[in-house]
A and B are shown apart, each in its own frame.
Chain A
Amino acid sequence: MAIMTSNLVLDVRDAAAVESWIQATVKEHGKLDGAANLAGVIGPTIGITGIEDIPLSEFDFIIDVNLKGVFNCLRAEMKAMNEKIKGGEQKLGSIVNAASIAGMIGMAKNPAYAASKHAVIGLTRAAAKDCGGGGVRVNAIAP
């Protein structure tokens, strides 16, 4: 199912590319013990525009990279780790997502980034529940 992409670079907004990368990593090295989903953007108008003025495209961009990107990574990583654990090739896995202080409190002139990071925390909690006691832990840092 995995398709080898021809790009050295990885855009986390591309779900198929992320899947490809994780599958290739597991194929080459036999397992996936951990992952750090730290790719993120703050957007050009952070600290400058609030909800009324932020360009729609910028809002979309920040949600796409910071939230959907993390989702794409989680999906591919959890699949890979859970498969390896089921097959007895590894026992544990640990995933860490990048949230932020902006994911815990509200800030003026910071609508999209804050929303995306609050969402990362929610997604992290959901992922942790998905993994249950199966061996994979999912947490977030909030610098």
Chain B
Amino acid sequence: MSTDFNGKVIAITGAASGIAFATSKLLAGRGAIVAMADRNEKLLDTAVSELKSSGAIVTSTGKFIYCILSF
């Protein structure tokens, strides 16, 4: 099984916390482009800020959040 997610586009719901947040962080750290979605705006903001401070490049198109990480 490949652990290289370079350039893979992955959509994750519930991404602001728990398993989904950990998955977002892990995959982005392996080069994936992660589209993070959550119902809780505040929690999502916090999650994205944390990824940003770990080196993530965060882009958003319209009102959606994408996250490209180069750890």
CA distance A6 to B11 in the complex (A): 19
**Residue contact A8 to B63, C-beta cutoff 8 Å:** yes
Contact-size category for B: 20 to 34
Query: Considering only CB atoms and an 8 Å cut-off, how many residues of chain A contact the other chain?
Result: 32
CB distance from A135 to the nearest CB of B (A): 14
Chain B residue contacts of A29, Cβ below 8 A = 9, 33, 35, 66
Contact between chains at B63 and A7 (CB < 8 Å): yes
Distance of A137 from chain B, by nearest CB (Å): 12
Residues of chain B from 7 to 50 with CB closer than 8 A to chain A in the complex: 8-15, 18-20, 23, 32-33, 35, 37-41, 44
A143 to chain B, nearest CB (A): 7
Within 8 A of B (CB), among A4-59: 4-12, 21-22, 24-26, 28-40
**A39-B12 Cα distance, complex, nearest whole Å:** 8
A7 to B23, CA, bound (A): 23
Within 8 Å by CB of B11, from A4, A25, A69, lies A25
Q: Which of B13, B40, B44 is A73 in contact with, Cβ under 8 Å?
A: B13
Q: Cβ of A35: which chain B residues have Cβ within 8 Å of it?
A: 10-12
B39 & A36 in contact (Cβ 8 Å cutoff): no
Is the CB–CB distance between B39 and A32 below 8 Å? no
Q: List 9 A-B contacts (CB under 8 A).
A: A8-B64, A9-B44, A11-B39, A24-B61, A33-B8, A38-B18, A38-B23, A77-B11, A98-B19
With A4-B62, A39-B14 given, can you name 17 additional A-B contacts, CB distance below 8 Å?
A5-B63, A8-B63, A12-B13, A12-B39, A24-B64, A26-B9, A31-B9, A32-B9, A32-B11, A34-B8, A34-B10, A36-B11, A36-B13, A36-B20, A38-B20, A39-B20, A39-B37
